[in-house]
């Protein structure tokens, strides 16, 4: 009898009432099709004023049997993307952890491919007999793209600039160092410790730490698009880009100096 693998999907939210249920429904559809795997969806909400946390709680109890695979962590006194992910990882019971943006810019339809990138590669014992630790959804490998436009165009430029700098300065096999969408073994996260950073720079730091420990990380192409509904929490003006961009640069050069 095959062992059951548990998948934990972490969804950090702040005022995503318009997107969260469509996202969860698509994740339920995708994850339910995986054989020999169970899943849980952990919504870590920073006490959203639009009651995202309550909408998810109501949805989780909307069946006669409820939806026990949905967990809601409502954070009253804590804020921030990285700390939300850390709380989700701590709560996760899965062998494999997945997280993503909750504005539908990260396509939930590829979540199964991310998970299979770990389970199938390891079961087939390829990749030079080295198990895959993580699969990153990537805009910068063949078949991937960044389709953001309008007020999000400058975010696209910042991401590409950081990608270019990483090729010059970092010894990591991953091109999309600010992806924010991946599947990863929880054991690897426990090995490197808590995620560090205020916002998306945590992803660069995490990848560098994994690479230093010789973890095998692969990338899966996808198309990143504008959020569908709601307001972006990412900077959309020059001042915001400068404030956050310098934190990304600080992490890049910190790890570059260590290599």
> How far is residue 201's CA from residue 250's CA, in Å, rounded to a whole number?
9
Domain 5-258: which CATH number of 3.40.50.720, 1.10.3720.10, 3.90.550.10, 3.90.1150.10: 3.90.550.10
Which tokens hold the place of 72? 């809601």
Residue indicated by tokens 């992803």: 203
Task: Look at 94 and 2; give whichever has higher pLDDT.
Answer: 94
To the nearest whole number, what is the mean pLDDT of the chain? 88
Residue 113 is inside which H or E element, if any?
Answer: helix 111-124
pLDDT attached to residue 119: 92
Give residue-wise pLDDT tens across range 219-249.
999 999 876 665 655 554 545 555 566 888 8
pTM over 0.75: yes
Judge residue 149's burial from the number of C-beta atoms within 10 Å of its C-beta, 0-12 exposed, 13-18 middle, 19 or more buried. exposed
The pLDDT of residue 45 is above 50? yes
Backbone φ and ψ for 198, nearest 5 degrees, come out as -95, -35
Tokens linked to 189: 């996260």
Rg of the chain over all Cα atoms, to the nearest angstrom: 18
Q: Are 182 and 136 in contact (CB under 8 A)?
A: yes
Q: Give the dihedral sign, CA 142/155/218/30.
A: negative
């Amino acid at each position: 009898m095959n062992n059951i693998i548990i998948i934990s999907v972490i969804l950090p939210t702040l005022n995503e009432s318009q997107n969260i249920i469509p996202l969860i429904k698509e994740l339920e559809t995708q994850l339910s099709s995986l054989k020999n795997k169970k899943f849980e969806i952990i919504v870590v909400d920073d006490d959203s004023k639009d009651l995202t946390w309550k909408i998810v709680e109501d949805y989780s109890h909307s069946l006669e049997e409820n939806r026990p695979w949905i967990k809601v962590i409502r954070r009253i006194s804590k804020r921030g993307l990285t700390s939300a992910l850390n709380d989700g990882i701590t709560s996760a019971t899965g062998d494999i952890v997945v997280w993503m943006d909750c504005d539908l810019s990260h396509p939930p339809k590829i979540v199964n491919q991310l998970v299979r990138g770990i389970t199938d590669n390891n079961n087939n014992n390829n990749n030079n007999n080295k198990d895959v630790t993580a699969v990153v959804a990537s805009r910068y490998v063949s078949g991937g793209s960044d389709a953001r436009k309008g007020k999000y165009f400058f975010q696209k430029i910042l991401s590409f600039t950081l990608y270019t700098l990483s090729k010059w300065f970092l010894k990591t096999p991953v091109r999309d160092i600010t992806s924010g969408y991946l599947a990863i073994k929880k054991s690897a996260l426990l090995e490197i410790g808590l995620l560090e950073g205020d916002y998306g720079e945590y992803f660069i730091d995490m990848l560098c730490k994994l690479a230093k420990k010789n973890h095998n990380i692969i990338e899966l192409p996808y198309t990143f698009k504008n959020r569908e509904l709601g307001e972006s929490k990412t900077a959309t003006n020059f001042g915001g880009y400068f404030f956050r961009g310098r934190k990304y640069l600080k992490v890049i050069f910190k790890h570059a100096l260590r290599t």
